[in-house]
Amino acid sequence: MAVASAIPDILSEEHDREPQIAYRHLREEEPVVFHEGSGGWLVTRHADILNILKSKAISSDNYAASIGTVYGRTLLELDGREHQQQRGLIMPLLNRTAIADYQPVVKRVVEALFTPAYEQAVAPVLAGEQEFAEMDIAESYLQAIPISVILEMLDLPRESRSDFIRWFKDLMAFVANVGNDPEAAARGIRARDELAEFVAPLIAARRANPGNDLVSQMCSNEIEGETLTDDEVRSFITLMVVAGGETTDRALGMVMLNLLRHPDQLAAVRADRSLVANAFVETLRYSAPVNIASRTTIADLELDGVTIPDGSVIHCLLGAGNRDPRKFSTPEVFDIFRTDNNVERGFSGGADHLGFANGRHFCVGAALSKAEVENGVNLILDNMKELRLSEGFVPQETGLWTRGVDNLRVTFKPA
């Protein structure tokens, strides 16, 4: 059995600082290799990952034992007809047409988050005390967008936002708890139970008195006479909060960081806002907010001359496939104008990048995340000129499963 070697272990702090060192080595030297620490197989080439994600003969029920423990039974762990049916109930609520209707909601929520943080940051400039304003756009603005939008779409009380943030952070920490810290495990279970307790009466109320919100729609949507059960609705709310929260928050920060690191591309996006979508699609490739999609084999699988035995867990390293030179020219370059990462197809199963994974579990929140990124970035560009990273500030990208920045200090003049 081939075993990953001679590189920073993917669970190490060294890897966390610069994952592309290991990704490059694995992709070129050991594209299919067993990884002792996670007990799974690492796959790093774009074509191999795509084949796995699209294969009908590979399952995702590995998520039942990890994510399923705290999210409940969600789309992610389902296969076959059951998956198709549940996805068919959810997809119409989040596809492009549905999200077009939610545009005003996204815009309103994003503006409400931006305005107070911005006003506080520019006050010293307007008072003539400073020439430039400073703001941590990740911490004081971008990070709050996804969870606030989701709560609004689900029509959950705004006062519960801080509880939801705590729950989603504790649920994420449970899933990412590779070191098996008992404290983190206990917090995850507690978050699961508190969230379930919060959501149960809400589902009952929406069934009795449906509104226009997503929870009511989830309760009433029907396919072939089937509707979602209370447990399924609760699991999907949990999945939306976590899958839609942490991921888009990581993406928003990285879109801005990539543009700030490439001032010519930032200027191009400022001048032509249709390019925000290009910057997002290129960020999904260059700085994948979600780095791993895992699967289980249900028969022996031959890949690049290696046999992965039946019943094995495979970790598709999306961040490695996204920099595969077999698929992308100059893959180590961030370039919003590249022609091999198509923007129109970038939010569908035809995407070149692997940022939303692919195949039947392709992210159902792609259109929503695009609306959030476009609104979030446009407000920054509308209001901040001469925008750059603050002097002396060194952005820290962290995270294995999801990856991004917690802080992003910028300097600007009010527009």
- Sites of contact with ligand HEM (CB under 6 A): 75-76, 87, 94, 239-240, 243-244, 247-248, 251, 289-290, 293, 355-357, 361, 363-365, 368-369
> Smaller CB distance to ligand HEM: residue 137 or 239?
239
Measured at the CA of 401, the angle between CA 167 and CA 159, to 5 degrees, comes to 20
User: How far apart are CB 130 and ligand HEM at their closest, in Å?
Assistant: 34
H-helix or E-strand containing 33? strand 32-35
- Cα dist from 165 to 129, 169, 201, 390, whole Å: 35, 6, 20, 27
> Smaller CB distance to ligand HEM: residue 133 or 320?
320
> Smaller CB distance to ligand HEM: residue 239 or 320?
239
User: How far apart are CB 415 and ligand HEM at their closest, in Å?
Assistant: 26
What does DSSP say about strands 40-43 and 313-317: parallel, antiparallel, or unpaired? parallel
- Cα dist from 301 to 88, 139, 208, 392, whole Å: 29, 44, 49, 49
Task: State how far the Cα of 230 lies from the Cα of 338, in Å rounded to an integer.
Answer: 45
H-helix or E-strand containing 206? helix 182-208
User: How far apart are CB 352 and ligand HEM at their closest, in Å?
Assistant: 15
> Smaller CB distance to ligand HEM: residue 67 or 203?
67
User: How far apart are CB 114 and ligand HEM at their closest, in Å?
Assistant: 19
> Smaller CB distance to ligand HEM: residue 122 or 276?
276
> Smaller CB distance to ligand HEM: residue 121 or 256?
256
| Ramachandran angles phi, psi of 278, nearest 5° | -60, -45
Q: Encode burial over 186-195: b for 16+ CB neighbours within 10 A, e otherwise.
A: ebbeebbeeb
Beta bridge partners of 307: 302
User: How far apart are CB 355 and ligand HEM at their closest, in Å?
Assistant: 5
Environment class of residue 212 by beta-carbon count within 10 Å: exposed (0-12), middle (13-18) or buried (19+)?
A: exposed
User: How far apart are CB 91 and ligand HEM at their closest, in Å?
Assistant: 9
> Smaller CB distance to ligand HEM: residue 143 or 248?
248
Residues 6+ apart with CB under 8 A from 11: 37, 38, 178, 400
User: How far apart are CB 7 and ligand HEM at their closest, in Å?
Assistant: 23
Q: By beta-carbon distance, which residue lies closest to ligand HEM? A: 365
Write the DSSP symbol of residue 290: B
